[in-house]
Amino acid sequence: MHRPNRRGFLAAMSGAVIGPGALASTSPARSVRYPGDEHRGKCVIASANGLWKDGTGCIVQAMQLIDEGADPADAVVAGVTLVENNPDDHSVGYGGLPNEDGVVQLDASVMHGPTHKAGSVAALENIRSAAAVALKVLKHTDHVMLVGDGARRFALRMGFKEEDMLTEEARQAWLKWKRNLNPKDDWLDDDQSDFPPPAHSRIDPDIPFTYGTINCSAVTDDGTLASCTTTSGLSYKIPGRVGDSPIVGAGMYVDNEIGAAGATGRGEAAIQSCCAYEIVRAMGEGKSPTEACLHALERVADHTRQKRLLNDKGQPNFGLVLYALRKDGAYGCASMHPGYRYAVHDGVTARHLNAPALFE
């Protein structure tokens, strides 16, 4: 079995200082420093879609609410709800890409540090705000997870409204996927049809696809933590497929004595290696947030043994990005491969940072 090349993530790191002991992860004196290592105090961290080009978005909303005294669980849910309501984000909520039947099914979870309570929903249909429904599960029930029609009916009892979650743009993407799925089926591929879609409904030549998700974690000045992950899941998935996002310990986890963590990307990998829990556990043993994320990614890489999931270098061929926030405010992120960013608000500035990568 391959061993990950730590030089890969060093090459992708921004502003790192590399000394003689930089590759020895067990060394007490770390030569590698990451952007979030020294931060202390309140902080909100999220996947890249948590900060929009205009300087607003999830992390800004969550930090504003924390500044106003809101509980961090309420703050992170309010933040991700902005993304869930954005029809241009095909990875989350309204406008999310559907399953193979053309139905949008949402997954979400939220965890509250002080009470160690969690709430989640999976395969939720016709309800826009999966994260808010998960928060209702946390606050108003003795359960952790509700699924399918039970989750939908619970949401209706809580005052949520049913609506069609499939936007026209997402429907066109699904139809394009369906047309080009199998050359032997009865659908005409785009290059075979005598009647291509009208110009106003055309989408990009490449079929839109996403593993998409948003994770957001927050800590207050007094060390109170919460985290939330919400998604429309793997595009064109088998109906009923549930990823890591609603699974406590996989797509999201909080221990108020240590920190919070989350994941985006290939959900099956995060589930099989309990990524969010493993990150928090590693922080509890003394790893920095970024080191903990890299440790969890290395664990995923070591346990990826199916040939179809490996590239020609023996490395996982899929994307997985992990996020960590420590109780004292230190934060970090890492990705399986380079090219990913994350969003952070340190109480002063909201910005994107490059995620260190495990592999070049």
Q: Write out the DSSP string of 158-182.
A: TT--B-----HHHHHHHHHHHHTS-
Residue 207, pLDDT score:
65
As a whole number of angstroms, the distance between CA 307 and CA 328 comes to: 41
Residue 179, pLDDT score:
83
Q: Is residue 213 flagged as an active site residue?
A: yes
- Domains present along the chain, CATH in parentheses: 6-16+33-93+213-354 (3.60.20.30), 167-208 (no CATH)
Element (H, E) at 123: strand 117-124
The one catalytic residue in 213, 264, 290, 304 is 213
Residue 206, pLDDT score:
58
Residue 110, pLDDT score:
98
Helix axes 72-84, 58-67, angle to 10 degrees: 150
**Average pLDDT along the chain, 360 residues, taken 10 residues at a time:** 38 34 37 89 98 98 98 98 94 92 96 98 97 98 98 98 94 88 55 41 51 91 98 93 97 98 97 98 98 98 95 96 98 97 98 96
As a whole number of angstroms, the distance between CA 160 and CA 93 comes to: 14
CB atoms under 10 Å from CB of 19, counted, come to 12
Structure tokens at 190: 């785009």
Look up the pTM and report it.
0.86
CB atoms under 10 Å from CB of 180, counted, come to 16
Lateral strand order in the sheet of 331-335: 252-255, 259-265, 320-326, 331-335
CB atoms under 10 Å from CB of 15, counted, come to 9
